[in-house]
Structure formats: C-alpha cells, structure tokens
Amino acid sequence: MGAKVRSEEDQDSEEDEDDEEQPYHRHSHPSELFLSLEALQGSALLTDLTLSTAAGGALHTHSPVMASVSTLIRQRLAAVVEFAYTGAIAGLNPCSASRVRAAAVALGAHRVLQLCTEEEEEGPEGGGREDERKRRVLEVSLDCIRQLWVEQVGCDVELQVEGKTFPAHRVLLAACSEYFRGMFCSGMRESRQDQVELRALEGAGFGELLSCCYTGQLCLGWDSVFEKASTALQLQLRPALPLCLHFLRSHLDARSCLDVAAFAEAYGIHDLQEEADDFLLSRFQEVAVTPKFLDLPVDRVLAVLGSDALCTPSELTVFRAAVAWLQADPARLARAAEVMAAVRFPLMTFREFREVRAVELQIEVGGASGLWSWLGDWLDPDSGQRRPSRQLWFAHALRNHIGLVKDVEWRLLGEMPDPPRFRHGLGVLGGQLYVFGGCHFYAKSDTLKSAYRYNPVQDRWQRLADMQENRSNFSLVEREGRFYAIGGDRDINNNMDSVACYCPNTDCWSLAHPLDAP
C-alpha cells in the first residue's frame, strides 16, 4: 500500500494547524477489482453484453470491462474476454497466438495484439514476467474504465446524495462493495431503478469515495478521515476502507489516539481499538496533557487510570491527570472518590507525596471537608502509633547521599495474610518471598509459627506448613535450597537453641543440630 506520507515537519506542526490531505493509493486495487468482476461475469450477474462465438456459444460480459480493451465489437472470442477480465490469456503460446491475433484485430483489441506480439517474441523464456505483465495490463484496463466513467460512457445508474448526482457503472459498484452487490444483484427495487438515492451520506466525501472505486486512490487527512472511513464502512467499500484504516494506524499519536479508539469502539473494529488503546496506555504521559483527555467520559477515565497496563514513570503522573480531569468541569467533583480510587498512592515515594500535598485542591466528597480527608490513611502524617502491620514494602531506589549513606525510596508492594506480624524471618528463593514465624504482639501467646510464600509475579500468597515451634526474632539462612531457622525467642522472656530446617520441595520441617547455647 503506497502513499504520500506527511514529513516530520508536518507531524510536528502546531496542534491547531489543520493537516493537509495527502493522496493514498491502494496498489492491489486493480487486481482485486478485476477478480471481483470476473466472479460477477462467471455468475452472469449484471452482464449487459452477450458475445457470440463462431461456434455458436455465448459469452455474457460487462460492457465497461470489454470497452476497456476493445474499440470495436464484431466477431466475439473467449480469449479476448478472458484478457479483459484477468489481464492474461491462459494457454497463449506461439502456436495459438495467430488465432487470438485474428480475433483481436476483428475486435479492435489493440492490447491483446500487443500481448500476442510479446508472447511470440519472448517465447517460453518470458513466463517469469507474466505476473508483472498481468499487473500492468489490469492497471491500464482500470484506467480505461475510469476514463469511461469520467466521460460518463456506459454509466447505467445515477446515485443521488444530498441532492448531488453521481453517474456510475453498476457492475463496478457491485465489484467494489458488498452493499451495492446486494442492492443490484439480489432483486431489490434499486436494481431496476436508473436513479438510486443514498440517505444519511454527505455528498462531498462520497464523490471521493466513488472515485476511489475507479482509481484505488483516496486523499486523506485528519479533517476528513473519520467521515470517509464511516461512509466506507457503511457502504462496505473495499478499495477505500483499507486506506482509511491504514491512515489511522500509521498516524497514531498523542493527539489522535483517543479519537481513533472511540471511532474503533463505535464501529466494532477491535484490532484498531486495541492498537489505539495500547498506544494510549504506553504513552500515557504524553496523552494525559492533551485537551482531548479532559473531554473523556468518567467511565473511560476510570478504565484508563485503573488499567494494570498503564505505563508511566511515576504514579504522580496518574495523580496529576486525575486532578486535571476533575478540575476541567466542576460537575465532575462529585465523582472524585471514584477517580482518586484509581490512583495507586502506595506506589508513590515519600518525595512524590510532598508534591501531592502541595496541590491546592479541595473537593467535597460525601460531606468530607476536602480531598485529603478522603485520602485518609494514605496521607495521615501521624506515624507515632506503633502497632503490628501487614504491609509489605520494598526498596524502589537507592540514591547517593551524604558520605556513605544511601537515600532509600520505599514503595508498598502489598499486604501479608493475617495476622499482622513483626520480628519474623524473611528469605528469598527462586524469585519468591518466604515469611516464617514472628510476633503478633508482645504477650507470650502472641509468638507465631505460621509460614507463607509470596509469588510477586502472580501477586499471590500461599500458606505453608507450620514451624514445629513458635519462634520469633531468629536468624533465617538459606543454603542449598533449604531454609534454616536458627535460635530466636519462644516468647519475650525465653530464648531458643533449636535449629529448624524447611524444605520447599516437600513443604516439610525437620530439626537440625541445636546451637551450643540458646
């Protein structure tokens, strides 16, 4: 599929500058069109010219197709008809060329004469160029049919759109469109009418789409592509629709992806919608600052912000986008709770939280005094209360600081299963996290022996076999695929000298040689 493509300078132009339309050409259109015409001819659909052979046979054909290769119709031969529809003559060789030549002379089919001459000159060695020659023949034939259309020669139907009249050939419309094929080949009322009115279409765009049926070329730009694609879908125009969809795919950018996704969703073009959504999610930081993002309905915003596939360097970008969308329309403030729930605040660093606090935004949510009262636990600065926690944090980044000290950025990964615990053993094996024992609180009965394994890829916890003894504040060592829980406390006042060994493969505990002293 060839096309003039906008230069990089054009693509980088100002947002309010209209993109100039450029011609896009479907190189396969002649081959596809004549293949459809051949099928119509084989089924004797819309044929308006019957050619009689010398042997008494009859060939039902379409006059526009025959007129593209023959200037005079007298003696009719199947070889010339075959050439008109396929661009080639099966079985043509130096021996048969003379007979075909005679028919071509009688029919005034000059290009058939040229084909015979090439066959006689090239002989068997020219077979390798047959496909290329056939392609050129069909391109010339299509151009001849286009010229007939321009001169309104042989047009047998007039299409009326918004008061404008467009002459055309029924057979060409049927070959390019299932819509027109059904209209003209299924006994509908329109098949007997000389004039057919097409409702709910715009005349300006339709003229270009009709021209595309005769040329395989269509001028496209952002100002017109959605209108033309919509009409091409409605009329099922095979030459135009692929050009429109190719344009939409190849010109996806931050300004257009939301419109493309909405168009694809409206017309059920699932692969195009998936491409546009993938672009949106992968380039969210660019898309979120465009005016079109602020026009999205709330359901679409929630789906985007809540997607696990959203690609952004920081959750702060998501928060900023949510704030901008809410502030764009005061009526949206009533949905603030839903929108902010899609922002994953636990993924923010403490440094990023400082910017969140600096945003001067007060939103009434369910009678609360502002956004911060809704955020509640995420932003509560009071860290003085000490209580067991189920939260699982990880070091997101280490940065150089003064001297040998590292500035650590922590992020919340998730929560451990009940009960909350501290002073537990923690180990990593095979990319999975193991948690053993610990304390729920400070009483003697609060020491734990439960064990869990966390798979970060699946974000799933699995309960393992309990330890043989309640144990907290112990050393955990992994060696040769096994974990060793060494010493620790049975309760706050009693130390232990025992060593327990856990095998992940069998999910079993066993006792090893104890320590020399608790």
Helix (H) or strand (E) segment spanning residue 218: strand 217-220
The whole-model pTM stands at 0.60
Burial class for 17, CB neighbours closer than 10 Å (0-12, 13-18, 19+)? exposed
CA 217 to CA 236: how far, in whole Å?
16
| Residue 366: pLDDT band with limits 50, 70, 90 | very low
Among all chains, which residue has been given the structure tokens 């819509």?
A: 179
pLDDT tens digit sequence for 372-394: 444 544 444 443 344 566 777 76
3-class state of residue 237 by DSSP: strand
Distance CA 290, CA 135 (A): 45
Structure tokens at 389: 């926690």
In three-state secondary structure terms, 18 is: coil
Q: In whole angstroms, give the CA distance from residue 518 to residue 516.
A: 7
- CA-to-CA distance for 409 and 157, rounded, in angstroms? 73
Residues 6+ apart with CB under 8 A from 191: 183, 184, 185
Name 195's bridge partners. 158
pLDDT of res. 14: 41
d(CA 448, CA 464): 13
Work out the end-to-end distance of the chain between its first and last CA atoms, rounded to an integer number of angstroms: 79
pLDDT score for 245: 95
pLDDT beyond 60 at 444: yes
Mean pLDDT in residue range 271-300: 94
Question: Would you place residue 18 in the very low, low, confident or very high pLDDT band (cuts 50, 70, 90)?
Answer: very low
Q: Which of 69-83, 330-344, 434-448 has the lowest mean pLDDT?
A: 69-83
Tell whether omega for the bond before 419 is within 30 degrees of 0, i.e. cis. yes
Q: Residue 416 phi/psi, 5° resolution?
A: -80, 160
HSE toward the beta carbon, residue 29, CA cutoff 13 A: 30
Tokens representing 181 are 């094929």
